[in-house]
């Protein structure tokens, strides 16, 4: 009876937005490939149309939401943003053209308004020589009463300087637009706190699960590293406050300088004053489909969080967002071949096991040259920590409905199956897979290597030992938990 009730609640919980995401997953499936043969290519067909790529769709609907929010609230802030955006987009530095315009501007002022002409020269002194007052430099030009000649001299003088001084203006303003984009992202987040809270809920469950596994892990216990490992796990959090502040500080500072430039009277000095404002490189664009670990902060960017606002079935929440959070969690727990200051000791046996699996998946599923390299271990290990971690929590939470069918779709879905499809959908790419160009392994190897390592996957899809997915499995890797290696030290 209890099972039945549980199931009923699950079915009633399905709303129309969920239907869309499940349907996207359905349109990605290639029925001609058996899930036990090559799960990635089964769940993510090769000739996928651009519009059915999961991450594209989520990003697009998020962008629309952010823009419509800007339109709806019409706060001063958004008005300012569009003000800056217009300016920045029009801030095309063309020195030749700019100095010619300045020349005519000076001639006009020189003839009609001597005070304005002198003001322009003072502003140029300040811009170019950092000279606020005094009779230096450009102000001398004011003594020339032949306005055309004076303007030609001015033109020559500023041209040399401007050509040398502003190669990076465009880069600066691109950065600033990114900061403004992040600011919009935080406003969206503020209006959608529920998505963030939901990610925190999932994160806390993953954290509990990891802590329990750490306490039983032989290679941590025997190397006296367990306490340190628990401590760094404890430090992890999903919290955007610091990141919001970082962006707010930059925006405030630049806005202040922006106001100073705005008060300048000449269009040339105004423009080059804007261009002179230095903007630090933006650390991360929160509007992009990405997640990262900036220990102790784990961050899921907004397009990912936005999925949590759609009341998704838990299978998708965990297969997609849970697995992503698990992966980022993994970055703190995996001692990479790159610098890593957190983990005092890392098992060499675990490392070899992970790399061997990715190598073996390469042998079985390569769609081009495929090799597993040392600098990918951090990412490979994080995948092997994160996805099973998310599945374990999901499995426990949803135990009563795990293998019940979900009605209303073309496919015979069960929550257990949907978890794995959601995970593959997140990695599903339309373009040709790239090997060895980044720290991440190619998507097909990432998905297939991890699923080959999960006994739950074999069970849910009833893959027999002869299937390609099962043959591609190297030795079972136990990273954490009582079965992990180094029982005797
Ligand atoms: Zn990563």
DSSP assignment string, 5-62: HHHHHHHHT--HHHHHHHHHHHHT--TTS-TTT-HHHHHS-TT--GGG-HHHHHHHHH
The pLDDT score that the predictor gives to residue 282 is: 83
Residue 262 Cα to ligand 1 midpoint, Å, equals 42
Residue 359 Cα to ligand 1 midpoint, Å, equals 18
Q: How far is CA 333 from CA 320, 378, 384, 438, in A?
A: 20, 9, 11, 21
End-to-end CA distance of the chain: 50
Q: How far is CA 47 from CA 19, 58, 334, 365, 430, in A?
A: 23, 20, 35, 17, 7
pLDDT tens-place string over residues 343-371: 788 899 999 999 999 999 999 999 888 88
The pLDDT score that the predictor gives to residue 239 is: 80
Residue 246 Cα to ligand 1 midpoint, Å, equals 22
Residue 379 Cα to ligand 1 midpoint, Å, equals 5
Other Cβ atoms within 10 Å of 471 Cβ, number: 13
**Is pLDDT above 80 for 250?**
yes
Residue 383 Cα to ligand 1 midpoint, Å, equals 8
Residue 130 Cα to ligand 1 midpoint, Å, equals 46
**Is pLDDT above 80 for 54?**
yes
- 333-353 burial, b at 16+ Cβ within 10 Å, e below that, comes to bbbbeeeeebbebbbeebbeb
Residue 104 Cα to ligand 1 midpoint, Å, equals 55
- 167-187 burial, b at 16+ Cβ within 10 Å, e below that, comes to eebeebbebbbbbbbbbbbbb
Q: Which residue has the tokens 């790159």?
A: 338
Residue 462 Cα to ligand 1 midpoint, Å, equals 30
Residue 292 Cα to ligand 1 midpoint, Å, equals 7
Which of the 8 DSSP states describes residue 297?
Answer: E
The pLDDT score that the predictor gives to residue 61 is: 86
Which of the 8 DSSP states describes residue 434?
Answer: P
DSSP 134-149: SS-GGGGGGG---HHH
The model's confidence at residue 339, banded by pLDDT at 50, 70 and 90, is low
Residue 382 Cα to ligand 1 midpoint, Å, equals 7
Residue 373 Cα to ligand 1 midpoint, Å, equals 15
Tokens of 48: 């996928």
Q: Which residues partner with 471 through β-bridges?
A: none
The pLDDT score that the predictor gives to residue 117 is: 94
Residue 20 Cα to ligand 1 midpoint, Å, equals 28
Task: Name the class of domain 18-59+195-217+295-471.
Answer: alpha beta
CATH 3.40.390.10 positions along the chain are 18-59+195-217+295-471
What does residue 291 show for φ and ψ, rounded to 5 degrees?
-140, 150
Q: Say which residue, 318 or 127, is predicted with more confidence.
A: 318
Tokens of 208: 């509990």
Q: Counting Cβ atoms within 10 Å, is residue 489 exposed (0-12), middle (13-18) or buried (19+)?
A: exposed
Q: Counting Cβ atoms within 10 Å, is residue 112 exposed (0-12), middle (13-18) or buried (19+)?
A: exposed
Residue 331 Cα to ligand 1 midpoint, Å, equals 7
Residue 376 Cα to ligand 1 midpoint, Å, equals 10
The model's confidence at residue 438, banded by pLDDT at 50, 70 and 90, is confident
Other Cβ atoms within 10 Å of 105 Cβ, number: 19
Residue 334 Cα to ligand 1 midpoint, Å, equals 11
- Which stretch, 244-248, 306-310, 360-364, 408-412, has highest mean pLDDT? 360-364
**Is pLDDT above 70 for 45?**
yes
Sign of CA dihedral 466, 469, 472, 476: negative
Q: Which residue has the tokens 């790399």?
A: 355
**Is pLDDT above 50 for 7?**
no
The pLDDT score that the predictor gives to residue 343 is: 79
Residue 51 Cα to ligand 1 midpoint, Å, equals 25
Other Cβ atoms within 10 Å of 17 Cβ, number: 14
Residue 329 Cα to ligand 1 midpoint, Å, equals 9
Q: Say which residue, 365 or 274, is predicted with more confidence.
A: 365
Over residues 265-273, mean pLDDT: 87
The pLDDT score that the predictor gives to residue 134 is: 60
pLDDT tens-place string over residues 24-37: 899 999 999 999 99
The model's confidence at residue 82, banded by pLDDT at 50, 70 and 90, is low
Over residues 258-263, mean pLDDT: 87
**Is pLDDT above 90 for 416?**
yes
- 398-430 burial, b at 16+ Cβ within 10 Å, e below that, comes to beebbebebeeeebebbbbbbbbbbbbbbbbbb
Q: Considering the chain, what is the average pLDDT of its residues?
A: 85
Q: What is d(CA 65, CA 425) in angstroms, rounded to the nearest whole number?
A: 22
Contact 328, 293 (CB under 8 A): yes
The model's confidence at residue 18, banded by pLDDT at 50, 70 and 90, is very low
The pLDDT score that the predictor gives to residue 75 is: 60
Report, in angstroms and rounded to the nearest whole number, the Rg of the chain calculated over CA atoms: 29
Residue 380 Cα to ligand 1 midpoint, Å, equals 8
The model's confidence at residue 17, banded by pLDDT at 50, 70 and 90, is very low
Q: What is d(CA 397, CA 419) in angstroms, rounded to the nearest whole number?
A: 13
**Is pLDDT above 90 for 178?**
no
The model's confidence at residue 1, banded by pLDDT at 50, 70 and 90, is very low
Q: Say which residue, 234 or 75, is predicted with more confidence.
A: 234
Q: Say which residue, 334 or 215, is predicted with more confidence.
A: 215
**Is pLDDT above 70 for 436?**
no
What does residue 237 show for φ and ψ, rounded to 5 degrees?
-155, 155
The pLDDT score that the predictor gives to residue 167 is: 60
**Is pLDDT above 60 for 12?**
no
Cβ neighbours of residue 134 closer than 8 Å, sequence gap 6 or more: 125
């Amino acid at each position: 009876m209890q099972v039945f009730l549980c199931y009923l609640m699950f079915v009633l919980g399905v709303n129309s937005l969920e239907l869309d995401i499940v349907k996207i997953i359905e349109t990605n499936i290639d029925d001609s490939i058996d899930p036990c043969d090559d799960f990635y290519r089964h769940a993510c067909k090769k000739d996928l149309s651009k519009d059915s790529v999961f991450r594209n769709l989520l990003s697009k609907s998020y962008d629309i939401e952010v823009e419509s929010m800007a339109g709806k609230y019409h706060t001063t802030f958004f008005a300012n943003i569009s003000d800056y955006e217009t300016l920045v987009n029009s801030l095309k530095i063309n020195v030749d053209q700019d100095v010619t315009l300045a020349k005519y501007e000076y001639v006009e002022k020189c003839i009609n308004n001597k005070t304005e002409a002198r003001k322009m020269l003072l502003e140029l002194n300040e811009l170019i020589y950092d000279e606020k007052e005094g009779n230096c430099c450009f102000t001398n030009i004011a003594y020339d009463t032949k306005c055309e000649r004076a303007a030609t001299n001015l033109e020559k003088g500023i041209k040399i300087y401007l050509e040398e001084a502003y190669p990076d203006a465009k880069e600066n303003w691109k950065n600033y637009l990114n900061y403004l984009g992040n600011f919009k992202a935080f406003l969206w987040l503020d209006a959608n706190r529920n998505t963030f809270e939901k990610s925190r809920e999932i994160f806390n469950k993953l954290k509990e699960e990891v802590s329990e596994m750490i306490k039983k892990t032989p290679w941590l216990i025997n190397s006296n590293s367990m306490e340190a490992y628990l401590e760094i796990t404890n430090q992890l959090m999903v919290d955007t406050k610091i990141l919001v502040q970082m962006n707010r500080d930059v925006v405030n500072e630049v806005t202040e300088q922006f106001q100073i430039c705005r008060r300048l009277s000449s269009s040339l000095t105004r423009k080059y004053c804007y261009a002179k404002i230095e903007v630090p490189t933006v650390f991360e664009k929160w509007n992009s489909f990405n997640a990262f670990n900036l220990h102790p902060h784990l961050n899921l960017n907004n397009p990912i969080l936005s999925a949590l606002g759609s009341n998704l079935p838990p299978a998708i929440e965990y297969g997609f967002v849970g697995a992503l959070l698990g992966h980022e969690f993994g970055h703190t727990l995996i001692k990479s071949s790159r610098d890593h200051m957190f983990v005092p000791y890392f098992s060499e046996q675990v490392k070899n096991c992970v790399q061997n699996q990715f190598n073996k998946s390469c042998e079985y599923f390569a769609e081009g040259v495929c090799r597993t390299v040392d600098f990918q271990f951090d990412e490979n290990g994080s995948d092997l920590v994160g996805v099973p971690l998310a599945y374990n929590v999901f499995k426990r939470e949803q135990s009563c409905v795990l293998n019940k069918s979900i009605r209303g779709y073309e496919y015979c879905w069960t929550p257990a199956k949907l978890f794995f499809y959601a995970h593959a959908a997140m990695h599903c790419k339309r373009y040709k897979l790239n090997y060895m160009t980044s720290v991440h392994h190619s998507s097909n190897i990432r998905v297939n290597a991890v699923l080959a390592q999960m006994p739950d996957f074999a069970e849910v899809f009833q893959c027999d030992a002869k299937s390609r997915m099962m043959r591609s499995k190297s030795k079972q890797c136990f990273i954490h938990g009582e079965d992990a290696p180094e029982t005797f030290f």
